[in-house]
Structure 1
Amino acid sequence: MAVHDDCKLKFLELKAKRIYRFIIFKIDAQQVVVEKLGNPEESYEDFTNALPADECRYAVFDFDFVTNENCQKSKIFFIAWSPDTSKVRMKMVYASSKDRFKREIDGIQVELQATDPSEMSLDVIKSRAL
């Protein structure tokens, strides 16, 4: 499975310059490519609504939060979206290439695997960030 250079470039821009809130990646013709870029103003709800209901995706989300000590922080989440309704073959392709893709993008702080929206709700994200 190849990873398009654009994936690494956009991830670096999210990580270093914070010009995106999220990036959604998809596998297209044996290659991981950028499907959608989220503006910094977009919310977590905008992000989850951008994920297809019946197809797998990889995504990164830059989550801003305030700690219990009242510090402003941010963590980059890697989300492997694999809905129950997606095709078995698609799930297998995404599952088998996930680790290789993650090695290509350096700087992920929290990983999440989700098969339905409740597994990546804002409450789950908040609890994993702290």
Structure 2
Amino acid sequence: MQANSGSGMAVDDECKLKFLDLKAKRNYRFIVFKIEGQKVVVEKLGQPDESYENFTASLPSDECRYAVFDFDFITNENCQKSKIYFIAWSPEVSTVRMKMVYASSKDRFKRELDGIQVELQATDPSEMSLDIIKARAY
């Protein structure tokens, strides 16, 4: 576990291991991460058959989270593809301090997860609707 010199935030090894499982083995549909004390930890693992709705429902309405979502889609050429999204969830109603901690640690945490293809920032569920996810896939 390494500490971030910028924010003092450490990343639990499990975060990287589970992300690799999602990316390489597709064992999970999504992973929700939270900052606990001075480190980022895995909060929830979404099973491969879970939907985008299951994913959005697992984000708290009043607290920040980081999340990755493995989105499957069919291209215009009829090819099956997937993209890994990194979502920085920062609801308006969460505390200013929490928003600052998540914002200041985001880039460092994201660098630990090698293979993210699309990043989204969302302060409200409408900013990460399935339509937006689909639009960013192509």
Is TM (by shorter chain) over 0.5? yes
Q: Deviations over 1:25-58 (max 9, x none)?
A: 0000110000000000000000000000000000
Alignment RMSD (CA, Å): 0.3
Q: Give the counterpart letter for 1:77 in structure 2.
A: Y
Identity %: 82
Report SS of the residue matched to 2:28: coil
Equivalent-residue separation in structure 1 for 2:113 and 2:127 (angstroms): 23
Match status 1:123 vs 2:131: yes
Structure 2: any 5+ residue segments left out of the alignment? 1-8
Partner of residue 113, structure 1: 121
1:4 equivalenced with 2:17 (yes/no): no
Deviations 1:34-85 (A, max 9, x none): 0000000000000000000000000000000001111100000000000001
Q: Distance in 2 between matches of 1:55 and 1:67?
A: 34
Unaligned runs of 5+ in 1: none
Distance in 2 of aligned mates of 1:30 and 1:120:
27
TM-score of the two chains, using structure 1 as the length reference: 0.99
User: In structure 2, the residue corresponding to 1:93 is in which secondary structure?
Assistant: helix
**Matches of 2:46 and 2:112, distance apart in 1:** 20
> Does the alignment pair 1:92 with 2:117?
no
TM-score normalised over the length of structure 2: 0.94
Give the aligned length: 130
Alpha-carbon distance in structure 2 between the residues aligned to 1:39 and 1:103: 24
Separation (CA, whole Å) in 1 of partners of 2:76 and 2:91: 33
